[in-house]
Structure 1
Amino acid sequence: MNPDKVVIRFEQVSEQTEGPVRRIVGFVRAKNMLQLFDAADLEANPREAKAGAVTADIIDSICDTPETFPFKTKGVLVGASNYVALERKRYEIRFENTKIEGILDGGHNMLAIGTYVLARALGDDRIFKKIKRWTELKDAWEANRKEITELKRVAGEESGSGPLDFLVPVEVLVPADIENDEIVGEFNSSLLDICAARNNNVELTLETKANKKGFYEYLRKSLQPLIANRVEWKSNDGGEIKVRDLIALAWIPLSIIDLPVDIKIPPQNLYRNKGDLAKHFDTLMSDEKVSSVSDGDYTHELHNTAVHSALVIAGQLPELYDKIYRDFPAAYNGEREGRFGGLAVVKMADRMRSKPRTHFTDAEVDYAYPDGLIMPLVYGLKALMAKDENGHVRWKEDPFRFLDEHLESIVKKYRVILDAFRADPQKVGKNEGSYDLVLDAFETEVLKRQAVAASSRGVRS
């Protein structure tokens, strides 16, 4: 478990205060930063650090020109809500809420410096190529703690020329007055904006900021762990699924309930403008009638039960999306076997080097094709949803069973659009008429199903 406090010893340091923030800034020798790798994590940083050209250049600078390294880098920015100034330019930094406190900027510097330290501790430059992400560094750091401790001991006996004597710019942000609860609250609330501004060399995506605010937490909880673990919730965290793909699907059940903000979503935007949907989601979740800011930080808690019900339904849509993707080829073929594989945009699994897989659940399928062909079908699931007496969205029908029984009939009607556009996914996916036709086809099948059920009840009575 990471310690919740660390002592940082500066070689040169100064303090500056403005508003609710006090800045402690100066140079720290690398050997006096090692505690920071134990205590601080990158959870507070909106972007996840990963190895690449940036980290390679940082490592080269440390190796080749350590004396000028502190002037080539912005260094590391740390945020903490509590601290104590000690003697000899030392500060005890205390992390009380790691969701918002820790390393706010400089994750790539921390990854590069940590990788360099690990390589020197093990005497193995192959480490530079092995460590790709912060999580990998943390695991390797823990596994080789004995060697790192020994390197620090040796480095402590050297003066000025050791492998850990290079300077690193370190900036620590703390509340201007830790005894004043109001100032501490203002300080905590300002940390996300500071993160976003400091990371502007690689602009933070809207989704990354929304994730830090907690806007995606309830959607994450609604997903199967298999899917949730594959999502890139913040930039560079290694997820294979873009969060905006989930947000686009979430607008299907959200369009059923009464929203406290005036947002109208054209159905074709589920395919053609997912970035716009992410902005609307941010607007919705920011509304005070939907969520409120948690005490002590900038994260939000959802209190709108209707929105919550929509996010629960949204958590099931990725599996339904993949079911439609898997079943669509057979439904398209109907009794005319082999026609789907002949479409220009379709690739058959037996002719591909790597087998195609579904987007969310990562299951093997027989065909690979653009999702523009099925987005109208996914949108058609809206016909299976209804608003109950509490204003919550619910399923009128079991969607999985409904698709098993009616997808072929729906696709038969959908063929009119597909044939008219020659199965061009861009034209199909961006045409509002595609969505209207499919929604009507779904609703027709629902009415038929209800009529049969009513007739059955009449016979029994």
Structure 2
Amino acid sequence: MSTTPSNPISEATVKIEYLEERTLDDLRRFSGFIKVRGMVDVITNLNLEANPRSAKRSPVTADIIETIRETPELYPFKSKGILIGAAEYMKRDRDRFTLTIRNPRLEGILDGGHNTLAIALYLLEEAILLSDDPREITKLQKELRRVKTWSQMKEMWHEMEPKLRTLKTKATASHDALVPVELLVPNTESDAGQEKFLNNILDICAARNNNVQLKEETIANQSGVFDYLKRVLEERMPDVYKNVVWKTNDPGEIDLRFLIALAWISLGAVDLPAEIRALPGTSAYSSKGEAFKRFDALIRHPEVAEERTNGNEKTWEITNAQVKSALQMVPQILEAYDLIYANYQDAYNANDGKFGRIGAVKTETKQKKNHFAPFSREQLDDDLCIAPAGYMMPVAYGMRELIQKNSETGLLEWAIDPVEFFSNKDNLAQVIGSLKGILRDVDFDSQRVGKGESSYTQVANTIKAMRLELENQRTASKAQEEIERLKAQLAALQG
């Protein structure tokens, strides 16, 4: 099967104790146990990309390590173990299997990431103790305590690999604790069988993770629904891209649903399929789950995108040029949102207001221990008074009024760049000033502002009028420039 440079082939050999085999239709399942020390090869060569949840150190991993150390004989009964999937495998003698992983996004450790991380942390602890140098042991133990995530563990694992391989040969009760394992493989070696197997992996992941309430957006991420948006952000806002929590337990500070809610600012200007409704600002504020559901339905719609295989990876390739143009606008939306967030206080106070005295603002400011811009994570002044989300969303959704359709291509474009628009302090002051009456009417209740349609209508009308005025000014300026040009030509002819 084809591969891509970004997905190098990896191989892992596992020995399954007390092996049992079951075959059902297109799937074959091998089950049994792997010794803890037998996990060295698995952890060295496999990853958690196919697991919808990222693993991180927690009280759960601490409990697993304690069980391995203190009561290893109970571990196979207390743990649900791990689930591994591989489209290509070779069964060897003595119940050993060599697994070939060509598509780490769909193959590898499908479930049991926290078990695997806990075992890895335990093995690292043991490998450190193989050193004869007390100072080295102390140094490495400090490093290990700082390891919190799978990626951090893998970095240290790579450094400790020689000692870890030595550990494979050292039998103790804890090293030989049995890890329950299931290995899923195709029931045929044909390319068609392998492809069908890969198609089933996402459903298997979702079902296996139901008991941990796996978020819908995590499954959507695995299936490639966010791929185009991810490419846009990776290219134009790489720091933001890296900081989005694309799947459960990913490291990051940016809520994916919040990001999608803001993406609907531009998507709402698209000529949507009949079955898909644009997300109103009120829903963006109060129901970010609805923002995701509509986005998911939009990308999966046949008028918008096609599900395709890229190498062995599944993705949704957007075929609707207008939707693409809307998603290309997201970086500017996020940048403008940060501008509004950082300058809301000054804009409000420019309208004879006292922003810091508002109860909802005081509460929001107290809840923010550190003041950072939501997307760029730029450090803001410590004494800045923070606008609640209910105050922010009507202003943010006003950006939709700055979008126009290109008369020739039908693609979306900015009539006025929102970053340029909101960088002008007078513009922001005028927009936020238009909300003051509504704020007073609802006694500054941020939820009523965020959920009230009148807030969005007021801001939209204000920005619409400002845009018209700016466009008229531009038209007048161009007309004046043309007059001056013609005058110059006439003067040249007369001269």
Q: TM-score by structure 1 length?
A: 0.93
* Aligned residue number for residue 411 of structure 1: 432
Cα distance, 1:447 vs structure 2 = 0.8
2:32 is paired with a residue whose SS is: strand
From 410, 415, 424, the counterpart of 1:396:
415
The answer to whether the Cα contact below 8 Å between 2:9 and 2:102 also exists between their aligned partners in 1 is no
* Aligned residue number for residue 184 of structure 2: 173
Rounded Cα–Cα distance in structure 2 between residues aligned with 1:111 and 1:138: 10
Instruction: Give the 5 Å matches for 1:172-211.
Output: 172-179=183-190, 181-211=191-221
* Aligned residue number for residue 88 of structure 1: 94
Q: Does 1:332 align with 2:336?
A: no
The answer to whether the Cα contact below 8 Å between 2:37 and 2:123 also exists between their aligned partners in 1 is no
Rounded Cα–Cα distance in structure 1 between residues aligned with 2:232 and 2:57: 32
From 56, 67, 77, the counterpart of 1:71:
77
Cα distance, 1:335 vs structure 2 = 5.5
Count of residue correspondences = 454
Rounded Cα–Cα distance in structure 1 between residues aligned with 2:340 and 2:127: 52
Rounded Cα–Cα distance in structure 2 between residues aligned with 1:261 and 1:277: 17
* Aligned residue number for residue 158 of structure 2: 142
From 259, 270, 285, the counterpart of 1:246:
259
Gaps of 5+ in 2: 1-6, 130-136, 484-495
The answer to whether the Cα contact below 8 Å between 1:30 and 1:165 also exists between their aligned partners in 2 is yes
Cα distance, 1:39 vs structure 2 = 1.1
* Aligned residue number for residue 490 of structure 2: none
* Aligned residue number for residue 343 of structure 1: 358
From 204, 226, 235, the counterpart of 2:248:
235
Larger helix percent: 2
Q: Does 1:452 align with 2:458?
A: no
Which whole-Å deviations, capped at 9, do the CAs of 1:277-298 have from their partners, x for residues lacking one? 1011111111222222223444
The answer to whether the Cα contact below 8 Å between 1:207 and 1:278 also exists between their aligned partners in 2 is yes
Q: Does 1:293 align with 2:293?
A: no
* Aligned residue number for residue 387 of structure 1: 405
Letter in 1 for 2:13: V
2:413 is paired with a residue whose SS is: strand
Cα distance, 1:271 vs structure 2 = 0.4
From 34, 41, 54, the counterpart of 1:35:
41
Q: Greater CA deviation, 281-290 or 353-362?
A: 353-362
The answer to whether the Cα contact below 8 Å between 2:9 and 2:100 also exists between their aligned partners in 1 is no
* Aligned residue number for residue 147 of structure 2: 131
Rounded Cα–Cα distance in structure 2 between residues aligned with 1:113 and 1:261: 51
The answer to whether the Cα contact below 8 Å between 2:215 and 2:248 also exists between their aligned partners in 1 is yes
**Relative to 1, partners in 2 of residues 1:213 and 1:351: Cα closer, same or farther, differing over 3 Å?**
closer
Rounded Cα–Cα distance in structure 2 between residues aligned with 1:261 and 1:27: 52
* Aligned residue number for residue 106 of structure 1: 112
Rounded Cα–Cα distance in structure 1 between residues aligned with 2:409 and 2:27: 45
Cα distance, 1:307 vs structure 2 = 1.2
Q: TM-score by structure 2 length?
A: 0.87
Q: Does 1:443 align with 2:464?
A: yes
**Relative to 1, partners in 2 of residues 1:22 and 1:314: Cα closer, same or farther, differing over 3 Å?**
same
Which whole-Å deviations, capped at 9, do the CAs of 1:353-381 have from their partners, x for residues lacking one? 94422211112142223121121010001
* Aligned residue number for residue 358 of structure 1: 373
Letter in 2 for 1:25: S
Rounded Cα–Cα distance in structure 2 between residues aligned with 1:59 and 1:447: 65
**Relative to 1, partners in 2 of residues 1:314 and 1:227: Cα closer, same or farther, differing over 3 Å?**
same
From 308, 329, 335, the counterpart of 1:313:
329
2:183 is paired with a residue whose SS is: strand
2:291 is paired with a residue whose SS is: helix
Cα distance, 1:178 vs structure 2 = 1.6
**Relative to 1, partners in 2 of residues 1:173 and 1:355: Cα closer, same or farther, differing over 3 Å?**
closer
Identical amino acids, percent of aligned pairs: 38
Cα distance, 1:186 vs structure 2 = 1.5
Which whole-Å deviations, capped at 9, do the CAs of 1:16-62 have from their partners, x for residues lacking one? 12122111111121222211111110111000011112112211211
Q: Does 1:302 align with 2:318?
A: yes
The answer to whether the Cα contact below 8 Å between 1:417 and 1:428 also exists between their aligned partners in 2 is yes
The answer to whether the Cα contact below 8 Å between 2:11 and 2:101 also exists between their aligned partners in 1 is yes
Which whole-Å deviations, capped at 9, do the CAs of 1:109-140 have from their partners, x for residues lacking one? 10011111111111267777443211121111
1:322 is paired with a residue whose SS is: helix
Rounded Cα–Cα distance in structure 1 between residues aligned with 2:336 and 2:17: 58
2:435 is paired with a residue whose SS is: helix
Which whole-Å deviations, capped at 9, do the CAs of 1:406-442 have from their partners, x for residues lacking one? 2222222221212212322111001011001100000
The answer to whether the Cα contact below 8 Å between 2:61 and 2:115 also exists between their aligned partners in 1 is yes
**Relative to 1, partners in 2 of residues 1:50 and 1:84: Cα closer, same or farther, differing over 3 Å?**
same
Which whole-Å deviations, capped at 9, do the CAs of 1:199-223 have from their partners, x for residues lacking one? 1221111111111111112212222
Rounded Cα–Cα distance in structure 2 between residues aligned with 1:335 and 1:301: 47
Gaps of 5+ in 1: none
Rounded Cα–Cα distance in structure 1 between residues aligned with 2:80 and 2:111: 9
**Relative to 1, partners in 2 of residues 1:57 and 1:348: Cα closer, same or farther, differing over 3 Å?**
closer
Rounded Cα–Cα distance in structure 1 between residues aligned with 2:367 and 2:459: 31
* Aligned residue number for residue 270 of structure 1: 284
From 250, 258, 278, the counterpart of 2:271:
258
